[in-house]
Amino acid sequence: MLRRSYTRAMIRFCRDTAGPCLAPGGSVVCVGAFDGVHLGHRALLARVRAQAAERGLVPIAISFEPIPREFFARGGPVPRLTSAREKIGLIAASGVETLLMLRFDAALAAMQPETFVERVLVERCAAREVWVGGDFRFGHARRGDVAMLEALGARLGFIVHVMEDFEVAGERVSSSAIRRHLAAGEFEAAARLLGRPFSIGGHVVRGARLGRKLGWPTANLRLGRRVSPVSGIFAVCVHGLDEGAVWPGVASLGLRPTVNGSEPLLEVHLFDFAGDLYGRRIEVEFVAKLREEVKFADLDAMVCQIERDADEARAILRSVRRSQDTGSRLAPGRLR
């Protein structure tokens, strides 16, 4: 039974393995976790869209939430490059018409690969072509592989294509490579593989207002169940305040050990900003890592370090502005 199907960001979005056929006239399908929707993913999505247009078929992306590695981690920390909401938006922006984002639960994990192919690829999607990566595995205990998929396709009426590796400057683009770059504070390298700067978005929530009392007010974003691939103190740019404006700032992402924080929080101080952001959705772009999060002896010591962090962040962002010749890109926030 189809329990949920609706339009989001100009894409048809469904969540169930069972239900009416999504493409009665046939489809071109790609399958993957799509964490980050990086340049390799976008090349795959573009190939599927082009093949579907050429053959008069429907392009469909199949993904999973939670992603399989999260499910099998059994609640352990699994860093994500994108939230589910961000992934949906990025796939929609690729021009693919339909996203089947399956609930990865115990039932799906236990599904035999033959059943997955028959129920999802054939019955749900009427696949004529299926595009996957060379290391694609599927079904219970990861028993299914490309060879099995090809054999099933020959019997059930679809062709399997293996997408070649996508490289940038000799480096294979993958979600794991991007996570490694981010963990090492290599944001430019991560952005080259992502095809955009790494960022975290969310709605600004009310906090304890300690930053305001200390003279450093912050816009706070809760991460919820999402595990960030980065932590520490950063120079950042914030999007979403005004049309076209990018505001400079300094941010902390972590548990705030000095004040005995209990959940990860992204706190952003925007330079020279005095407006009310509560409830607004903003996007925090990470430019450079300044240091790790540490526990200070007292609040005075913490404030002194915040001042040093802010000065360093301003200097870095000034340098970025000059090297990119962005002019007023970081206005109206001041970097003096």
pLDDT at 329: 52
Average pLDDT score, the chain: 91
Q: What is the pLDDT of residue 257?
A: 85
Show the tokens assigned to 335: 């970097």
- Tens of pLDDT, residues 245-262: 899 999 999 998 888 777
Instruction: From 39, 150, 128, select the one nearest 90 (Cα to Cα).
Output: 39
Q: 198-324 maps to which CATH number?
A: 2.40.30.30
Average pLDDT, integer, range 66-73 = 91
**Contact criterion met (CB below 8 Å) for 214 and 297:** no
Q: What value does the mean pLDDT take over residues 87-111?
A: 96
pLDDT at 75: 62
CATH assignment, 5-168 = 3.40.50.620
Q: Say whether pTM exceeds 0.75.
A: yes
**Over 256-274, what HEC string results?**
CHHHCCCCCEEEEEECCCC
pLDDT at 324: 66
> In the predicted model, what is the mean pLDDT of residues 70-93?
90
334 band by pLDDT with thresholds 50, 70 and 90: low
Question: What is the spatial distance between Cα 49 and Cα 36, in angstroms, rounded to a whole number?
Answer: 19
* pLDDT of residue 304 exceeding 80: yes
* Cα–Cα dist 34/25, whole Å: 26
Question: What are the residue ranges spanned by the domains of the chain?
Answer: 5-168, 198-324
pLDDT tens digits for range 196-212: 999 999 999 987 777 77
